[in-house]
Structure 1
């Protein structure tokens, strides 16, 4: 009986936590489908008082650009996450090895990049003049390829793996690359999935690189495009397109609704992808890997 009560209370706590996490998302979704007048009069509600899709009509007035923004962001996120995770792990693994000769120097060099920053102007000069990233799709990928914080996260996990695993592989004739790709990487799936999620969110939510390094509108990622639309809502209200929407809906441009609709368009894909990633967040994959 005590065990049943304990299990029931645990499920109840998990249910409350789930509701607590889902509440903001449902509130944003409801607000994006509520008329501007209802929001101004009654505030935000879980159930729309006056159902209205004007916010989404405004955002999709130029649907081709929205779709292109999604394509750019998805491609940048996939390619950037893969390359960044590859480079980060290939730096984190060597500096986690005690037998590496210049291990301390590499650790200090990596740490310095966190403590000291060259500033925006030198960073911009390097990206534009030396790396030639301006108006290139690589401008959205290359600057985030290696983050020192992620390197130290993976290094800490690699240090928890028993040294006997790599030593036994060496006795069987395996080289460093074989040990890394065939043994270390499979055993580090939880850490790689966690860091990979951090990297993917960084790429998905970024608009700064597009704002500073891109002039071509066809290369704008989704976040920058939606930020531009949201910042121009007041201007749109005085334009012919905005006036046409107002006439068709008999109301006004929903500035609050557009903010919520922008949030839904940006976080929606992440919400649907996360359940497929969270199954990797488990521990104990190395249990039983070493005998004796």
Structure 2
């Protein structure tokens, strides 16, 4: 009886801690969401609150002054994220797998070569010259995809997971007549789903949140990804005062642009796709967090 009571108290304590931690995690998001619907004067006077003191849509009106351009930027970011994630994950996996094989003769040399890309950086100017002059990555969607196709850090993470898969499995398949590529697709990839899902999430976040490639490699405004467009809006929010629509918003908000509200509205607009992506890979994500932690 005492043992059951002790177990109930222990589980109750653990559940309480988890719930409390969840509240701590959700609270910042609620503050951002509430602030995006709060008037600028209320934020400046009372600060951020979970519930809006004065409900106001001025921040979203400013943000959607050019809704067509915002939608196009959304489309570009989605296309780049989807294509970039699939291509980058495939290249990363195909490089990480041979690096994990003891029977691969060039394993050490390729490991050192991959490590050098982390330790030594040529600098922004040589990087820019290579991308623009030699690879032609300027004013096209490839400029937003190719530079991030293979990140050495992701390669080593995935290699660590591949090393936990016994080589005897691939060797037995090889005896049965399967080639390396068939072994990789039919055996290794299914076993590595948790790791691939985790690395895929990291890559998706990198592509979705990136604005640097657009800033350095794009001159065409119509090719700007969402993050770069929103960064431009936030950095130049004062120029809205010169437009007729901006003047109407200023009059409606009492003569003040909702600069704080715009920052919060930008967070809400950009977070959507990632929030929808996570539930699909949640069952793999927890297991994938232990990549390389235990070797069997």
Q: Is TM (by shorter chain) over 0.5? A: yes
CA RMSD, 1 decimal: 1.2
Any unmatched runs of 5+ in structure 2?
Answer: 289-296
2:142 corresponds, among 138, 144, 149, to 138
Give the match for residue 131 of structure 2.
Answer: 127
Deviates more, 1:247-256 or 1:221-230: 247-256
Q: Distance in 1 between matches of 2:173 and 2:152?
A: 29
> SS of 2:163's equivalent?
helix
Structure 1 residue 275: Cα displacement? 2.0
| Structure 1 length-normalised TM | 0.95
Q: Distance in 1 between matches of 2:171 and 2:287?
A: 23
Give the match for residue 97 of structure 1.
Answer: 101
Mapping for residues 1-292 of structure 1, pairs under 5 Å: 1-283=5-287
Change (3 A) 1:283 1:41: closer
Deviates more, 1:11-20 or 1:236-245: 236-245
Structure 1 residue 239: Cα displacement? 3.6
Change (3 A) 1:123 1:151: same
Q: Distance in 2 between matches of 1:38 and 1:260?
A: 14
Question: In the TM superposition, what whole-angstrom CA distance separates every residue of 1:31-65 from its partner, at most 9, and x where no partner exists?
Answer: 11100000110011111110001000000010001
Number of equivalent positions:
284
Q: Distance in 1 between matches of 2:245 and 2:220?
A: 23
Q: Runs of 4 or more off by more than 4 Å in structure 1?
A: none
Any unmatched runs of 5+ in structure 1?
Answer: 285-292
Deviates more, 1:230-239 or 1:26-35: 230-239
Question: In the TM superposition, what whole-angstrom CA distance separates every residue of 1:63-118 from its partner, at most 9, and x where no partner exists?
Answer: 00111111000000000000000000000000110011111000000000000001
> SS of 2:38's equivalent?
coil
Structure 1 residue 272: Cα displacement? 2.5
> SS of 1:133's equivalent?
coil
Structure 1 residue 282: Cα displacement? 4.7
Structure 1 residue 170: Cα displacement? 1.0
